[in-house]
Structure 1
Amino acid sequence: MEVSLELGAPQGASKCFDDDGRLKRTGTLWTASAHIITAVIGSGVLSLAWAIGQLGWVAGPIAMLLFSFVTYYTSALLADCYRSGDPNTGKRNYTYMDTVRANLDGFKVKLCGYLQYLNIVGVAIGYTIAASISMVAIERSNCFHKNGDDSPCQVNSNPYMIMFGVAEIIFSQIPDFDQIWWLSIVAAVMSFTYSSIGLSLGIVQVIKNGGVRGSLTGISIGTVSEMDKIWRSLQAFGDIAFAYSYSIILIEIQDTIRAPPPSEAKVMKRATLISVAVTTVFYMLCGCMGYAAFGDMAPGNLLTGFGFYNPYWLLDIANVAIVVHLVGAYQVYCQPLFAFVEKWALETWPRSQFIGKEIQVPLPARRSYKLNLFRLIWRTTFVVISTVVSMLLPFFNDVVGLLGAIGFWPLTVYFPVEMYIVQKKVARWSTRWVCLQLLSLACLAITIASAAGSIAGVVSDLKVYRPFKAS
């Protein structure tokens, strides 16, 4: 799994090329922020009202603030590892795996690779499920509006997963990460759209209820069993972790930023601060207002809690925005995996015409598209497989919690901390070293607990689930 991605490069930079011989990067603070917001404000925001509902008014917001701080802090540590040595002229590390390879040993490189790409596969599955839920909600909403509130309006989500998969097959043919900046901006706008609608509907529901619902400790024992209360609380941590998860693609985003000055690390830290601050405000508003509106009955997907009735058109707009956002977010997450497999294949079979040859396909306005047959077949196969798996396991809330739990500690905390210690030569048993290790251990405990809660939720769902059945 260890693949060197470094290309031979001329010394110094020119008007057309950066210091590593690659075409000049054009990313800015704002394009990096758009990528991050697209990745962070994903479908996870819709589960936050449910998560706060399990933890209550005290632990819920505190947990959200802690996760935001940890995510920002460890992302800043990771950003410092993009270049080895001098932050302006040191050797670039193009991917998360390259960064680990430059600072840690071979086993950890392989472990990082497996975890990163497994998490990306999981995100692809989770986003496919979330998109289908929104498309089903649109059809059911229109069905109720047309046929009356008592109509059964059963809808099978599988055709919608297939439609989403077809869209991803098309967009997955965009060759490189730096060419999807426009898709990230559209997706970021969509994320604010549906988050704002969810927030507004929550405010209206609170006014309609005549007050704020919920309790200091969350859903009460009696409404659920004592054991369920424990599992649900643990799963809530996983849902919050998933809502902040983007470290697995941080280095790939940073590699799109134009060359210094200022250094890529400084730009990335500012982009992270802006993005995490903005998303945390949205998360707090949406999560807390959702809990205030529904109390212990806060749904796993906030928008479904408002029913499928009036204002049905507003809910339709929100769900369309979710689908458009997830189309872009899917690509932001999967591009690093696509690039890794293609570079590995090219280095393994450098003379293969099937892998290396690009066919010029003419487009309007004197443009052309470079069609690569291996890219076409491999990326299409990936999307098809992830779509089929999504059709077999459509458990949005539990899948979200499990993905957040699996990826949070190793990729968001452990590797950034360990690499920073090596890169900055932090002395063992110094105050900084001890604090970093305590942070890592605390996050490990949260990851294990969250994973246990989410697995319990999936097992519970599997007992009553029937594949391919309309709901």
Structure 2
Amino acid sequence: MKIDEKNAANYQQGFEVSGDFSSHAPSKFFDDDGRPKRTGTLWTASAHIITAVIGSGVLALAWATAQLGWIAGPTVLFLFSFVTYYCSCLLASCYRTGDPVTGKRNYTYMEAVKSNLGGFKFKICGFIQYFNLTGTTIGYTIAASISMMAIKRASCFHEKGHDHPCGVSGTPYMVLFGAVEILLSQLPNFHEISWLSMVAAVMSFTYSAIGLGLGIAKFAQNGKIKGSLSGISVGEVTQTQKVWRSFQAFGAIAFAYSYSTVLIEIQDTIKAPPTEQKTMKTATLISVITTTIFYMLCGCFGYAAFGDHAPGNLLTGFGFYDPYWLVDIANAAIIIHLVGAYQVFAQPIFGFVEKTTSEYFPESKFITKEICIPIPGYKPFKLNLFRMVWRTMFVCMTTIIAMLMPFFEDVVGILGAIGFWPLTVYFPVEMYIAQNKIPKWSSKWINLQILSGACLVISICAAAGSIAGVIKDLQVYKPFKTIEHL
């Protein structure tokens, strides 16, 4: 038990413990790997997933539907939800190598790839995963600043009238968001942010419901369903623009469903029995069904309300007129949600860097020493100097990049395109094939490869459309400029 206590203490300090503890018997305080007892449930896992999935990407779904039309739009939304759920179940089965009850745990997405596919693919996966996670935190910083600017402009219009330009810069709001994230980033790991995910999940439902309600009200005010079967018409845009924007819509939808990069890390918080795999699959089903219903409603009612002119951000499409206070509430909910979502996507990066540095410099006091700070009525907070410095630097870096490139729709389209195929489809499919020893050229193997190939084509098209959008934005963009429209 002394060994178990030592390993558990190390883990609580935020560092991974090397070695195989699968032979350790579970006890009242420790799991079978010598780590502190996991306490996550179906509902905490669902909250983490919903926090990761229902991001501000939901607000771009009306725009995405407008590019694709009444037939292709809802169809693509449904297909992405199905692929996300199916591949997430494949990935969840790779949490343990071998037996789903007693097999060796894979604590991160990268460890699962390394256990099942080997070193080379493990390195490629790591690069793509952490690039995508970092890009997502940048995108969330941009999105939070947009909502803060929307609240400021709404207040300005209400006081000075709608003829006033009410220009506003997003830079100070990004700095404010970054300052909050620096504080929250000192929470050591996923186990410490369940409360934050719960709050963020409630906020995501709040602004999604408001956006949906405003879309329904706008639709009722119009008295008719706008839009067409084929989407935005040539004339509103050129034929070339329609193609690129349709591809970009794929990326926006892919981003709206992306959470596979943190699935294994979320699964590692779940207690057993039942098996982590079973709980995670159920949590995935609940979360994907919930988010798909919201996505369908927001995308379709937004398109029905605005037609070809559906905005990139559903909430800003209602202008800054009454009920401006309701739009302000929705934007405030977005900000609170993104505060939590940032942490869900940043924690795997933090854990990886801290694990690697502790393995390379195990004797360094700067990296390993914990300072206990007493908190009245609560357990002491363990402050680690390396964690504080490194995480602060990371948040500052993402904030600066967000200031330099605030193109939310195009950025998330690129991130969705780059991350969707390899992280959501390719690696889960390949790991599942390897772990279950599915024979090459068998019917199941062929079907899985067809799924992977089709998603690769979609990702390439989405990346091309989003890159074209960024190039167009860069032609007219000036850093740190005051913005007079959102």
TM-score by length of 2: 0.95
Question: Which residue type is aligned with residue 301 of structure 1?
Answer: N
Question: Which residue type is aligned with residue 234 of structure 2?
Answer: I
For 1:36-93, what per-residue CA distance to the aligned partner results, in whole angstroms no more than 9, with x for missing partners? 0000000110100000000000000000000000000000000000001110111000
Q: Which residue of 2 aligns with 1:203?
A: 216
The answer to whether the aligner puts 1:41 opposite 2:54 as a matched pair is: yes
Q: Against the structure 1 CA distance between its residues 203 and 434, is the aligned structure 2 distance closer, same or farther, given a 3 Å change threshold?
A: same
Q: Which residue of 1 aligns with 2:189?
A: 176
Once residues 379 and 460 of structure 2 are traced to their aligned partners in structure 1, the CA distance between those partners, rounded to angstroms, is 51
Q: Which residue of 2 aligns with 1:329?
A: 341
Pairing of 1:139-158 with structure 2 (within 5 A):
139-158=152-171
Q: Which residue of 2 aligns with 1:388?
A: 400
Pairing of 1:403-422 with structure 2 (within 5 A):
403-422=415-434
Question: Which residue type is aligned with residue 212 of structure 1?
Answer: I
Pairing of 1:128-139 with structure 2 (within 5 A):
128-139=141-152
Q: Which residue of 2 aligns with 1:95?
A: 108
Q: Which residue of 2 aligns with 1:229?
A: 242
Q: Against the structure 1 CA distance between its residues 366 and 335, is the aligned structure 2 distance closer, same or farther, given a 3 Å change threshold?
A: closer
Question: Which residue type is aligned with residue 259 of structure 2?
Answer: Y
Question: Which residue type is aligned with residue 72 of structure 2?
Answer: A
Once residues 137 and 212 of structure 1 are traced to their aligned partners in structure 2, the CA distance between those partners, rounded to angstroms, is 27
Deviation at 1:364, TM superposition (A): 1.7
Pairing of 1:289-304 with structure 2 (within 5 A):
289-304=301-316
Q: Which residue of 1 aligns with 2:296?
A: 284
- 2:475 is paired with a residue of what secondary structure? helix
For 1:91-131, what per-residue CA distance to the aligned partner results, in whole angstroms no more than 9, with x for missing partners? 00000000000000211000000000000000000000000
Q: Against the structure 1 CA distance between its residues 210 and 90, is the aligned structure 2 distance closer, same or farther, given a 3 Å change threshold?
A: same
Once residues 110 and 4 of structure 1 are traced to their aligned partners in structure 2, the CA distance between those partners, rounded to angstroms, is 19
Q: Which residue of 1 aligns with 2:135?
A: 122
User: Please, what is the CA RMSD of the aligned residues?
Assistant: 1.0
The answer to whether the aligner puts 1:317 opposite 2:323 as a matched pair is: no
The answer to whether the aligner puts 1:263 opposite 2:275 as a matched pair is: yes
Q: Which residue of 2 aligns with 1:30?
A: 43
Question: Which residue type is aligned with residue 241 of structure 1?
Answer: A
For 1:200-235, what per-residue CA distance to the aligned partner results, in whole angstroms no more than 9, with x for missing partners? 000110111111110001001110011110000000
Moved over 6 A (4+): none
Deviation at 1:400, TM superposition (A): 1.1
Identity %: 67
Alignment counterpart, residue 64 of structure 2, candidates 51, 54, 57: 51
Q: Which residue of 2 aligns with 1:162?
A: 175
Alignment counterpart, residue 361 of structure 2, candidates 336, 349, 367: 349
Once residues 365 and 121 of structure 1 are traced to their aligned partners in structure 2, the CA distance between those partners, rounded to angstroms, is 35
User: 1:4 touches 1:98 (CA, 8 Å); kept in 2?
Assistant: no
Q: Against the structure 1 CA distance between its residues 276 and 86, is the aligned structure 2 distance closer, same or farther, given a 3 Å change threshold?
A: same
Q: Which residue of 1 aligns with 2:83?
A: 70
Q: Against the structure 1 CA distance between its residues 420 and 8, is the aligned structure 2 distance closer, same or farther, given a 3 Å change threshold?
A: closer
Once residues 241 and 473 of structure 2 are traced to their aligned partners in structure 1, the CA distance between those partners, rounded to angstroms, is 13
User: 1:5 touches 1:94 (CA, 8 Å); kept in 2?
Assistant: no
Alignment counterpart, residue 478 of structure 2, candidates 448, 457, 466: 466
Alignment counterpart, residue 254 of structure 1, candidates 246, 267, 276: 267
Question: Which residue type is aligned with residue 392 of structure 1?
Answer: L
Question: Which residue type is aligned with residue 427 of structure 1?
Answer: P
More displaced stretch, 4-13 vs 150-159: 4-13
Once residues 243 and 233 of structure 1 are traced to their aligned partners in structure 2, the CA distance between those partners, rounded to angstroms, is 15
User: 1:8 touches 1:21 (CA, 8 Å); kept in 2?
Assistant: no
Question: Which residue type is aligned with residue 370 of structure 1?
Answer: K
Question: Which residue type is aligned with residue 18 of structure 1?
Answer: D
Q: Against the structure 1 CA distance between its residues 366 and 389, is the aligned structure 2 distance closer, same or farther, given a 3 Å change threshold?
A: closer
For 1:295-323, what per-residue CA distance to the aligned partner results, in whole angstroms no more than 9, with x for missing partners? 00000010000001110100000000000
Once residues 378 and 261 of structure 2 are traced to their aligned partners in structure 1, the CA distance between those partners, rounded to angstroms, is 37
Once residues 98 and 178 of structure 2 are traced to their aligned partners in structure 1, the CA distance between those partners, rounded to angstroms, is 42
Deviation at 1:6, TM superposition (A): 3.8
TM-score by length of 1: 0.98
- 1:460 is paired with a residue of what secondary structure? helix
For 1:144-198, what per-residue CA distance to the aligned partner results, in whole angstroms no more than 9, with x for missing partners? 0000011110000000000000010010110011110000000000000000000
Uncovered stretches (5+) of structure 1, i.e. residues with no partner: none
Uncovered stretches (5+) of structure 2, i.e. residues with no partner: 1-14
- 1:11 is paired with a residue of what secondary structure? coil
Deviation at 1:18, TM superposition (A): 0.2
Question: Which residue type is aligned with residue 395 of structure 1?
Answer: F
Once residues 453 and 379 of structure 2 are traced to their aligned partners in structure 1, the CA distance between those partners, rounded to angstroms, is 53
Deviation at 1:367, TM superposition (A): 3.1
Aligned positions, number: 468
For 1:339-370, what per-residue CA distance to the aligned partner results, in whole angstroms no more than 9, with x for missing partners? 00001000000000000000011112253110
Q: Which residue of 2 aligns with 1:110?
A: 123
- 1:459 is paired with a residue of what secondary structure? helix
- 1:369 is paired with a residue of what secondary structure? strand
Once residues 160 and 17 of structure 2 are traced to their aligned partners in structure 1, the CA distance between those partners, rounded to angstroms, is 57
- 2:380 is paired with a residue of what secondary structure? strand
User: 1:359 touches 1:371 (CA, 8 Å); kept in 2?
Assistant: yes
Question: Which residue type is aligned with residue 71 of structure 1?
Answer: T
Q: Against the structure 1 CA distance between its residues 176 and 7, is the aligned structure 2 distance closer, same or farther, given a 3 Å change threshold?
A: farther
Deviation at 1:5, TM superposition (A): 5.8
Once residues 107 and 47 of structure 1 are traced to their aligned partners in structure 2, the CA distance between those partners, rounded to angstroms, is 36
Question: Which residue type is aligned with residue 127 of structure 1?
Answer: Y
Alignment counterpart, residue 239 of structure 1, candidates 246, 252, 257: 252
